[in-house]
Structures are given as C-alpha cells and as structure tokens.
C-alpha cells in the first residue's frame, strides 16, 4: 500500500518501511512514534482512493530515527554601485523518519437511542 501524506507543508509518497528525510525538526525524542492524519491519496493493489471522506479514516504512523542539520547555504545580497552587501548563512533542520504503518481506522460507532 502506498500513500501520499502531507508532513509539515510538503507532500511525500510513502510505503511501509520507507525512510524519508523531513525538512523540519519534529519536537519528539529519537525512537518515539508520530502519527500523520493528513493523507492526500492511497494506492492499493486494486483500488485508488482520492475522496476526502474516505481519506479521513487513514493514518500514517512513523518512528523518528535521527535529528540532524543540512549543509550550510550562503545567501549573498548585493546592489551594484551602492555599496550594499550582505552575507548570511542558513542550515535547515532535518528529521529522518521511518514509516511503520498505513492504517485504515474503520471503527464502528454504536448509536444509542435515548428513551
């Protein structure tokens, strides 16, 4: 089963056992489990699901493997003939996660009638 899930504003194509690097630091310790419920699409052997009503039931759970930082990027601003120069650096926080499961939570709710 393959799912497209939105994690912190970006969409990732994931399957069970995949390891992906997310471009933000998730504020949980290494080894903890996190669940994502913003699933955009699900692809199975015989069915493709795109309906938001059906996708509300799907959850993707992942285990946090590592926190790290990306390589440094240098940002230079310059306006010619004005004497304006700025040099900045930026390192993006990264989190490596492993997808543990893609589940369909079809819990039946029991309606009780008031007497």
Q: For every one of its 115 residues, what pLDDT tens digit does the chain have, with 9 covering 90 and above?
A: 999 999 999 999 999 999 999 998 889 999 999 999 999 999 998 999 999 999 999 999 999 999 999 999 999 999 999 999 999 999 999 999 999 999 988 655 455 555 4
Distances (CA, A) of 114 to 5, 68, 97, 111: 40, 55, 46, 10
State how beta strands 19-22 and 93-104 pair.
antiparallel
pLDDT of residue 105: 80
**Residues 6 or more apart whose Cβ sits within 8 Å of residue 64:** 26, 28, 29, 30, 31, 32, 33, 34, 95, 96, 97
In angstroms and rounded to an integer, the radius of gyration of the C-alpha atoms of the chain is: 21
Q: What are phi and psi of 2, to 5 degrees?
A: -120, 140
pTM for this entry: 0.79
């Amino acid at each position: 089963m393959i799912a497209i899930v939105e994690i912190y504003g970006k969409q990732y194509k994931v399957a069970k056992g995949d390891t992906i690097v997310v471009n933000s630091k998730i504020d949980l310790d290494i080894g903890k489990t996190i669940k994502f419920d913003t699933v955009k699409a699900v692809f199975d052997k015989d069915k493709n699901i795109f309906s938001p009503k059906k996708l509300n039931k799907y959850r993707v759970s992942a285990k946090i493997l590592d926190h790290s930082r990306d390589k440094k990027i240098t940002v230079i601003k310059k306006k010619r003939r004005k004497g304006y120069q700025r040099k900045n650096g930026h390192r993006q926080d990264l989190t490596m996660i492993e997808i543990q499961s893609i589940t369909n939570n079809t819990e039946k709710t029991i309606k009780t009638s008031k007497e």
